[in-house]
């Protein structure tokens, strides 16, 4: 696997700061889980945060620390779901409820990832080899991480692990790899305007 | 390496008014908490980091009560998770800063059951790379710290807004009333400086 497309500095900095919309952050996190190079960029940004903390002007606390609970030894935070992760899915999806695959057209299926409170809608899309996804444009962002296979559009070829950071100006017609097909996960803000027959089917399903 | 770290800290203490904090060793304090629930160690760690966390949060525009709460909760998490701290992955300050980020996300989303901070924790689980070089995290952080201390005031402000507060370049420009191009060039210079330092390590 050789990853070519990575998040912009701006997107990664917002992820590191924890200020990205949760839906967008999730798709970035999946890329980070796959790509050690981007993970290292994230660690560097976190090191900058640590340096800023160390150099910060202290502000007096109004209280000292209260009653300390018993220190736990290597025990993970409460509230972590015990549910076994689904095989083959990125681990960062563990905390989320994911719907079943649903056919949404000839050789295309999608499943919704439920991200309560997020502005972006998140869904996985699986397309058979050679399929052309509907021609569309959007008024917001469409960030995608490729989970397997590949697609290609005006801005290049995107294969496993690649991150496609499409903004408002993009109009694209992704063509799915003729041999491998493609499974990807996308977070979409604003409106996506599909064109053509498949778009008309997809539009209500993606609730856009 | 330990000597180099101590030197950096002394230099920084010196730069902040000449008060040299004798032998403040956060790694040893966290270790003492993890081993034996050492409350004195925690008190020292708290006195050092809680006011800095609060200061940083105030600077980023958080109201005082929120800043206090995030600082408290962050330190409480440090107490509970002390045994998970791995100095090979990051310095104490970097580890604590990332806990603060996660707590801040949690506090902002009380109603949505804290999924996103778990995403950050899961990403943090797997970093088995470089088992041959246990000092890598601490070494990197020491380099980053000295690189950050060398940034100009203007660069530092831009770095803070972009990397700590997650502002877009456009937001940084309007917050500081400077042109977008200036934001981009200051960030570029700051990052080049940082990466130049880190390249020695890689």
The full DSSP string for A33-86 is HH-HHHHHHHHHHHHHHHHHHHTSPP---SS---PPPPPPSSPPPTT---PPPP
Cβ separation B52–A58 shorter than 8 A: yes
Token code pair at residue B137 = 């995290």
Find residue A138's DSSP bridge partners. Answer: A192
User: Is A172 among the domain residues?
Assistant: yes
Compare all CA atoms of chain A with the CA of B76 and give the residue at the minimum distance: A68
Cβ separation A61–B165 shorter than 8 A: no
Chain A positions in Cβ-Cβ contact with residue B125 (cut-off 8 Å): 91
Mutate to test the interface with B, among A24, A47, A90 (most CBs of B within 10 A): A47
Token code pair at residue B138 = 């601490």
Burial of B40 (0-12, 13-18, 19+ CB in 10 A): exposed
Highest mean pLDDT: which range of B3-7, B135-139, B191-195: B191-195
More confident residue, A188 or A68: A188
Domain span at A201: 1-53+94-208
Mutate to test the interface with B, among A9, A48, A57 (most CBs of B within 10 A): A48
Q: Would you call A82 an interface residue with chain B, using a CB distance cutoff of 8 Å?
A: no
Pick the CATH number of B2-133 from 1.10.1740.10, 3.90.600.10, 1.10.150.310, 3.40.930.10: 1.10.1740.10
CB neighbourhood size of A19 (10 A): 19
Find residue A102's DSSP bridge partners. Answer: A110
Mutate to test the interface with A, among B12, B164, B196 (most CBs of A within 10 A): B164
User: Is A202 among the domain residues?
Assistant: yes
User: Is A185 among the domain residues?
Assistant: yes
pLDDT at A208 over 70: no
User: Is A64 among the domain residues?
Assistant: no
pLDDT at B22: 57
* Mean pLDDT over each residue of chain B, to the nearest integer: 84
Which region among A37-51, B83-97, B117-131 has the lowest average model confidence (pLDDT)? B117-131
Residue that is written with structure tokens 């604003």 in the block: A190
State the DSSP string of A112-170: EEE-TT-SSEEEEEEE-TTPBPPPEEESS-EEEEEEEEEEEETTEEEETT-EEEE-TT-
Mean pLDDT score, B133-146: 78
Find residue B179's DSSP bridge partners. Answer: none
| pLDDT tens digit sequence for B149-181 | 999 999 999 999 999 888 999 999 999 999 999
User: Is A137 among the domain residues?
Assistant: yes
Residue that is written with structure tokens 């970035």 in the block: A28
| Contact of A203 with A105, CB cutoff 8 Å | no
pLDDT at A154 over 90: no
Nearest Cα of chain B lies from the Cα of A187 at a distance, in angstroms, of: 15
User: Is A27 among the domain residues?
Assistant: yes
Mean pLDDT score, A33-62: 92
Domain ranges of chain B: 2-133, 150-202
| pLDDT tens digit sequence for A90-101 | 999 999 999 999
Find residue A22's DSSP bridge partners. Answer: none
User: What DSSP element (H or E) covers A108?
Assistant: strand A108-114
Number of compact structural domains in chain A: 1
pLDDT at A105: 78
More confident residue, B91 or B22: B91
Cβ-Cβ contacts under 8 Å between A and B: the total is 214
Residue that is written with structure tokens 């160690």 in the block: B41
Q: Which residues contact B73 (CB under 8 A, 6 or more apart)?
A: B103, B106, B107
Residue A76 pLDDT class (50, 70, 90 cuts): very low
Residue B61 pLDDT class (50, 70, 90 cuts): confident
Chain A positions in Cβ-Cβ contact with residue B88 (cut-off 8 Å): none
- For residue B191, CA distances in Å to B150, B172, B180 come to 12, 16, 17
CA A107/CA A97 separation, integer angstroms:
24
DSSP letter for B200, please.
Answer: T
**Whether CATH 1.10.760.10 fits B150-202:** no
pLDDT at B3 over 80: no
Q: Would you call B168 an interface residue with chain A, using a CB distance cutoff of 8 Å?
A: yes
Q: Which residues contact A94 (CB under 8 A, 6 or more apart)?
A: A81, A83, A85, B118, B122
Q: Which residues 102-131 in chain A show a CB within 8 A of chain B?
A: 115-117
Token code pair at residue B109 = 């989303």
More confident residue, A28 or A137: A28
Of A36, A46, A50, the CB nearest to B129: A36
CA A143/CA A29 separation, integer angstroms:
11
State the DSSP string of B83-150: GG--TTT--HHHHHHHHHHHHHHHHHTGGGTTHHHHHHHHHHH-----TT-TTHHHHHHHHHHHHHHT
CATH of the domain at A140: 2.60.120.10
CA A97/CA B70 separation, integer angstroms:
28
Of A19, A57, A71, the CB nearest to B37: A71
pLDDT at B130: 54
Domains B2-133 and B150-202 share a fold: no
pLDDT at B199: 81
Of B55, B169, B191, the CB nearest to A57: B55
Residue A182 pLDDT class (50, 70, 90 cuts): very high
Nearest to B21 by CA among B11, B33, B32: B11
DSSP letter for B86, please.
Answer: -
What's the maximum distance between 2 C-alpha atoms anywhere in chain A? Answer: 64
pLDDT at A136: 73
C-alpha angle B183-B16-B186 in degrees, rounded to nearest 5: 10
| pLDDT tens digit sequence for B93-126 | 999 999 999 999 988 776 566 789 999 999 988 6
Total residues found in chain B within this entry: 202
CA A184/CA A119 separation, integer angstroms:
19
Q: Would you call A14 an interface residue with chain B, using a CB distance cutoff of 8 Å?
A: yes
More confident residue, A194 or A106: A106
pLDDT at B5 over 50: no
Cβ separation B144–A44 shorter than 8 A: yes
pLDDT at A164: 94
């Amino acid at each position: 696997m050789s990853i070519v497309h990575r998040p912009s500095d701006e997107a990664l900095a917002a992820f590191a700061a924890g200020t990205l919309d949760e839906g967008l952050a999730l798709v970035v996190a999946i890329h980070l889980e796959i790509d050690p190079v981007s993970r290292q960029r994230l660690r560097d940004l976190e090191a900058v945060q640590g340096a800023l903390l160390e150099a910060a002007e202290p502000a007096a606390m109004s209280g000292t620390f209260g009653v300390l609970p018993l220190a736990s030894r290597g025990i993970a935070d409460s509230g972590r779901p015990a549910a076994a992760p689904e095989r083959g899915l990125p681990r960062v999806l563990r905390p989320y409820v994911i719907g079943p695959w649903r056919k949404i057209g000839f050789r295309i299926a999608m499943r919704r990832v439920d991200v309560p409170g997020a502005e972006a809608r998140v869904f996985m899309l699986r397309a058979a080899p050679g399929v052309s996804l509907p021609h569309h444009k959007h008024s917001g962002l469409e960030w995608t991480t490729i989970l397997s296979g590949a697609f290609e559009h005006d801005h290049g070829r995107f294969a496993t692990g690649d991150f496609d950071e499409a903004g408002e100006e993009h109009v694209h017609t992704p063509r799915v790899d003729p041999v491998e097909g493609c499974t990807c996960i996308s977070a979409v803000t604003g409106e996506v305007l599909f064109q053509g027959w498949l778009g008309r089917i997809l539009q209500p399903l993606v609730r856009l | 390496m330990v000597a180099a770290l101590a030197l950096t800290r002394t230099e920084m203490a010196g730069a902040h008014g000449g008060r040299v904090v004798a032998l403040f060793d956060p790694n040893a304090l966290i270790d003492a908490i993890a081993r034996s629930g050492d409350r004195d160690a925690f008190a020292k760690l708290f006195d050092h980091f809680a006011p800095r966390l609060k200061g940083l949060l105030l600077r980023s525009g958080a109201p005082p009560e929120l800043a206090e709460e995030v600082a408290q909760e962050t330190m409480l998490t440090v107490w509970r998770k002390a045994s998970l701290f791995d100095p090979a992955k990051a310095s104490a300050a970097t580890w604590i800063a990332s806990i603060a980020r996660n707590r801040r996300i949690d506090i902002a989303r009380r109603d949505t059951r804290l999924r996103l901070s778990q995403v950050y924790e899961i990403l943090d689980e797997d970093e088995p790379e470089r088992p041959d070089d246990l000092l890598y995290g601490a070494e990197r952080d020491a380099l980053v710290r000295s690189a950050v201390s060398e940034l100009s005031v203007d660069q530092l402000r831009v770095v803070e807004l972009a990397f700590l507060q997650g502002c877009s370049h456009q937001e940084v420009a309007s917050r500081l009333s400077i042109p977008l191009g200036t934001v981009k060039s200051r960030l570029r210079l700051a990052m080049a400086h940082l990466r130049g330092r880190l390249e020695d390590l890689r």
